[in-house]
Amino acid sequence: MCGVCGIWSPAEAARRDAAEAARLMFFSLYALQHRGQESAGIAATDGQDLRVVRRMGLVGQVFSEPDLNVLGGRAAMGHTRYSTTGSSKIQNAQPFVVRDDSLGELAIGHNGNCINAREIRDDLVSRGVRFVTTSDTEVVAQAIANAPGASWDERIVHALPGLAGAWSLVMLTPRALYAVRDPLGVRPLCLGRKGGAWLVASETCALDTIGAEFIREVAPGEVMRIDDRGPVPLADLAAADRRGLCVFEHVYLASASSRLGGVSVYATRERMGEILAREHPAEADAVIPVPDSAIPAAVGYARESGIPFHEGLIKNRYIGRTFIQPSDELRRHSVALKYNALRDVLEGKRVVVVDDSIVRGNTSGPIVELLRRNGAREVHMRICSPPIRHSCYFGVDMARRSELIASKLSVEEIRRHVGADSLGYLSLEGMIRASGGGPDEFCAACFTGEYLVPVRLELEKGVLEARAAERTEPSATGKA
Ligand code: SF4
């Protein structure tokens, strides 16, 4: 999971609006920080060359005022990274820049996971291409740079059909900005406008933050070039029979303030809570969320059940999201440091605690224990997604299948493991219905095992173990 964004201001508009592209990208990346907290980068241009700043850390730590002044530009692209393929180090930070002797530079930012990166890389290496990172994004960049064609347009259109998996890409050259979504549209990407400038971003919240107007989604399979003429379609690679937006974006990944496919994420999560209350009612005195992502679902559960909503856990907002911390050690510590319980709310009460998902099962137990320690008489855990039983190969670090608690234990066994008085998961049908579409519009493979792109399951051994080995910290447990 990562966040990408881009802006192109025609020369006239840039003069009139006097807004520096890099500064707007900085604030857009701030709004996309929840999609990745390891590194961030911006590439900017005035039409001659590309200037790039990328470092490890949060957006607010990565860019200084002098950086933004140097970047400037009338066009820019930005990236905030959480690693899925490729380890967490500066070499893998994005934007990644490739250079062609005749065409010049191209900067690329990638959200997703190219599942055939290894084969493409082997082929390119056999043709003499040298790689400097372990990330699939460099593979995509080199596949484009080494494709036939007399322009970046031609090379992009030639290379993209060879990629499999999930890829929302934003690319920048001194002459144009490109926005691309894979044929199923697994990762989101939207188009916006601010004054005379055109913008693209992973989520609408990045447009809202800088006062840009949402125009439309970049369609699944759409290859779009943006320059002084505005957006121009270059190719349509859409899958003929279905779409595949990651339903976990609605459950957890996306900001509650964003809209996905025209649907409010906040409203979707409220609906998930309402359906969950119908599917798994409880006799209780209070409904509390595990903040922040489960707040709207708890609001929905409370409304549907008639049980009062309370805040019972207060999140330390300066601890990062546990799920997207790249190592187990960080994840374990952040769970312990993350929440304070409100004894005044919990004392003597039967509590329904609503969370978005249970992945490895390591945080739910401590949460139940924390609630009991602070006076909760009963703890009924409700989860607004189905059990996660399969790994994700499309850009979300779900861990190996063997680490997913629901791949090994039944719901009753999980209940005992986390120490709750009862445990109820939202049904697959309920989750899809709440997300505002039909089953052929979403990827739900981590719940069903039905991958929309054929996944060679030996990748689990190869890619995931390689990823674990590359990390400076060992991999294993994580969120919920
Ligand atoms: Fe999203 Fe799960 Fe599909 Fe991965 S497998 S893209 S997390 S729905």
For residue 398, report the distance from its CA to the centre of ligand 1, in Å: 9
- Please give the DSSP secondary-structure letter assigned to residue 90: G
246 lines ligand 1 (CB under 6 A): yes
Q: Are 267 and 241 in contact (CB under 8 A)?
A: no
Pairwise CA distance, residues 412 & 30, whole Å: 41
Secondary structure (DSSP) of 417-450: HHT-SEEEE--HHHHHHHTTS-GGGEE-HHHH--
- Residue 391 Cα to ligand 1 midpoint, Å, equals 8
Which atom of ligand 1 is closest in space to residue 249's alpha carbon?
A: 1
CA–CA gap between residue 435 and residue 333 (Å, rounded): 32
CA distance linking residue 417 with residue 390, whole number of Å:
19
Mutate to test the pocket of ligand 1, among 2, 385, 392 (most ligand atoms within 8 A of CB): 392
- Phi/psi of residue 79, nearest 5 degrees: -150, 135
| pLDDT at residue 12, rounded to an integer | 75
pLDDT score of 461: 44
Q: List C-alpha distances in Å: 12 to 50, 198, 295.
A: 20, 13, 44
Q: What pLDDT shows up at residue 105?
A: 97
CA 16 to chain centre: 34
CA distances 275 to 7, 154, 278, 415, 452, Å, are: 39, 48, 5, 20, 26
pLDDT by residue (tens digit) across 130-141? 998 888 899 999
Measured from the Cα of 445, ligand 1's closest atom is: 5
pLDDT confidence of residue 316: 83
- Distance from C-alpha of 371 to C-alpha of 337, rounded to nearest angstrom: 15
Hey, whose CA ends up nearest to atom 4 of ligand 1? 392
Ligand 1 contacts CB of residue 189 (under 6 A) = no
Pocket lining: 371 vs ligand 1, CB cutoff 6 Å: no
Instruction: Tell me, rounded to whole angstroms, the distance of Cα 226 from its chain centroid.
Output: 24
- Alpha carbon distance 86, 108 (integer Å): 15
Ranges of beta strands (E only) in 144-212 are 165-172, 177-181, 190-194, 197-201
Q: Is 335 a pocket residue for ligand 1 (Cβ < 6 Å)?
A: no
Instruction: Tell me, rounded to whole angstroms, the distance of Cα 399 from its chain centroid.
Output: 15
Specify the pTM.
0.91
pLDDT, position 399: 74
453 CB near ligand 1 (under 6 Å) = no
From CA 60, how far away is CA 384, in angstroms rounded? 32
Beta strand 3-8 pairing with 75-81: antiparallel
Active site residues: 2
* Ligand 1 closest atom vs CA 186: 6
What is the 126 CA–ligand 1 centroid distance (Å)?
A: 32
Q: What is the pLDDT of residue 476?
A: 28
Cross-strand pairs, 193: 198, 213
Q: Does 292 sit behind a cis peptide bond, omega within 30 degrees of 0 on the bond before it?
A: yes
- Kindly write down the DSSP assignment for every residue of 366-420, as one continuous string: HHHHHHHHTT-SEEEEEESS----S---SS-----GGG-GGGTS-HHHHHHHHT-
SS3 category, 79: strand
Q: Identify the helix (H) or strand (E) that includes residue 286.
A: strand 286-289
pLDDT 10s digit of each residue in the chain, 480 long?
799 999 999 887 777 766 689 999 999 999 999 999 889 999 999 999 999 999 999 999 999 999 999 998 999 999 998 865 556 677 778 999 999 999 999 999 999 999 999 999 999 999 999 998 888 899 999 999 999 999 999 999 999 999 999 999 999 999 999 999 999 999 999 999 999 999 999 999 999 999 999 999 999 999 999 999 999 999 999 877 889 999 999 999 999 999 999 999 999 999 999 999 999 999 999 999 999 999 999 999 999 999 999 999 998 877 655 455 556 566 555 556 789 999 999 999 999 999 999 999 888 999 999 999 999 999 999 999 999 999 999 988 777 888 999 999 999 999 999 999 999 999 999 999 999 988 899 999 999 999 988 776 544 444 444 554 444 333 222 233
247 lines ligand 1 (CB under 6 A): yes
Strand partners, 180: 169, 223
Q: Is the separation of the CB atoms in 263 and 289 below 8 Å?
A: no
Ligand 1 atom at shortest distance from the alpha carbon of 388: 2
State whether the beta carbon of 446 lies less than 6 angstroms from ligand 1: yes
